[in-house]
Amino acid sequence: MDQFFICILLLLSLNSSNREEWLWSGGGAPSWYLWKPGQPDDYLLGHEDYGCMWESKWYDASLLYKKNFFCYSAAVVKQEKTWEEALEYCREHHDDLASVASETEMLLIQKELSKHNTTQNVWIGLRFLAGDWLWVDGQEMDYEAWGEEEKPSCPQPKIKCGAFQVTGGSRGAWEPHDCEERLHFICY
């Protein structure tokens, strides 16, 4: 099997104090790093200012290299469905209900939601299962953005689905909701 690099849209930029820092293409800072030991190695020379992934590790790279890439694209669906119906719809027409597993994903989803008039809350792929809140696409729960009520450790029986607050005081926060409530939702 051929091994290949995958570009991860990590960009080197200068911040306001003229310090170099790595940022996702959406503008957020990574919440964790997976650099191979010794990487990044050429960014100080200004030649390798893009990030790529190979064998689960990050490398800095130049625009001169041709690489495969993947994209994260959020799709706002303005149909009111229960959480289960939204999950089924996303898996049939897209990949899955969107996770918001990093600050970058949060920024991308907020940017996409700002283009639409939606319900006050929208379904995301967050579900209380087996005693914990999990992303249904299997991503790790390293990043959290719970609202004022905080992360419920033992939600009521019907309140086991996660929604993203689009408007109101805790805009951008996650909230537990009744899974039978009918909301718009976000797929990726």
pLDDT band at residue 2, thresholds of 50, 70 and 90?
very low
Provide the pLDDT for residue 17.
43
Is 75-187 in the same CATH topology as 6-69? yes
**Sign of the CA dihedral running 86, 118, 148, 170:** positive
Give pLDDT tens digits for 108-159: 888 889 999 999 999 999 999 989 999 998 888 888 999 887 888 888 888 9
φ and ψ of 83, to 5 deg:
-60, -45
Closest CA to 185 of 24, 70, 90, 77: 77
DSSP state of 77: E
Domain 75-187 coded CATH 3.10.100.10: yes
Domain boundaries, the chain: 6-69, 75-187
CATH for 6-69 is 3.10.100.10
Question: Rounded to two decimals, what is the model's pTM?
Answer: 0.69
Provide the pLDDT for residue 60.
79
